[in-house]
Structure 1
C-alpha cells in the first residue's frame, strides 16, 4: 500500500482538467518538435507539415471550455495543411477536438457540429486526395469521435445521477428512522400522560366535577396529540415513498425478541 499511494496521488493530480490538457499538448508538441529538429536539415516539406501539425495542437488547451471554437480552429488548420499538400493525413488533434465536442456539448449543438464537421472533412478529403471515395474516410472520423464523446458524457451523467439517487435514498432512510424514533419517544410520554390523567380522573370523588372535567379535557388533548403524531409519521413516510401507516417499526414479528 505504501508503494501504491504515490501513484494514486500522481494519478489524481494528472486527472485535473487543466493539468491533463497541458500535459497532452506538451507531449504532442514535444513529439512534433523532435520531428522538426530531425527534419530541418534535409526535408523542408516535412518541416512545414510538422509546423502545421504543431499549430493544430495548441487549440486543445481550450477544448473543455470552448470545444466548438477549438474544433473549428483545428479543422481550418488541418484543411490548410491537407489542401496545400504539406500534410498527407488529418491531424490527431482533429480527432481529440471532435471527441471534446461530443463530450462537452449536447442536443442540437452537437448535431449541428457533427453534420458540419462531417461535410467539411468529406469535402476537404475529396479535394485533397482527388476523389476515389476519400470523402468517406474524411467524413467518418468526426462521426466516430463525436459519438464516442457522447457515449462518455452519457455514462458520466448516469453515474452522477446514480450517486445522487443513492445519497437521496440514504437521506430518506435516515429521516424515516428519526421520525420513527421521535414518534416512539413522544408517543410513549403522551401515553403515560394519558394513563396518569385517566387514572386521576377515575379516582376523583363524584362531587369534584370541575376537576373531573379538566382532567377529561387533558386526557382528550393527549389522545389528539398522539393521533396527530401518528398522522405526521404517515405524512413523512408518504413523502419518502414508504407505506403510509401508523406503525412505529415494531410489529408482531418482533414479539419473540421483545
Structure 2
C-alpha cells in the first residue's frame, strides 16, 4: 500500500521560513482536512448507523489506538459522560501502552499485535459491543491485532485511518478512510491526520448519541452539572422549555440533577 501520510511535504526548507510563512503553510494544509472528511461522509454514515443500532441493543463503544490516534480516542470517550450523561464505561478509549502513554510515549507498545485484545478483556468486551480502530497509517499492529480478534468474537468493527487499502481497513466491517495527503511537516501525523480523526470522532460519537436519544431539539439535556457554567446553561434550558423564571428553573434543575429529569418532572 502507498502511505500518503509518509510522503514528502509539499513545502521545502521550512526551517528557513519566517514565522508567518510557517503558520500560513500549516493553515493552508489544514483547510484541506474538512474537504477530505466531507468526501467520506457516506462511510461515516454507515459506521455511525451500525454503532447506534448495536448500542440501542445494549452494546458499548470501544476505541483502540496508539500515539496521537490513541490519545484522540481517549479524549472522545472521556467527553461522552459529561456531555451526554452516559456511564463512564459506555464509551471507552484504550491507548497502546496504557494510561502512561497518554503523556509519554511507551516504547514498542504499538508493535504488539496481541496486547489490544488483552486490554479489551479488562472490560469484558463481547459480541454486543463495537470496536473502532484509530491509526493514521492504517497499519499499526496493536490496532490490526485487536480488530482481527474482535471480528472473530463477533464484535462490530470499524476504523478511522488516513491511508487507503491498509490492513486495518481490511479488518473493519465499516472502514472510514479519510485521506488528507502529505503533512506540512513530513510524516507528522499529529497534524492534518490527527485533525481529520478528531473531526470524524466528533461526528461519530455525537451522531450516535443523538440517535440514542441523548439530545432533545439541539440541547444536551443529559449533560452532567459539573461546574457553574453548566449549571447556568442547564438553568437557561429549563427556563426556555418550561417558560419559568431563573430561580424556579435552577431549583428544579438542582433538585432533579439534569435538564431532562427537571422538565419531565414538571410535566407529571
Report TM bin, short chain. Answer: under 0.3
TM-score, reference length from structure 1: 0.22
Larger strand proportion, structure 1 or 2? 2
Compute the TM-score of the two structures, normalised by the length of structure 2: 0.21
- Which is greater in Rg? 1
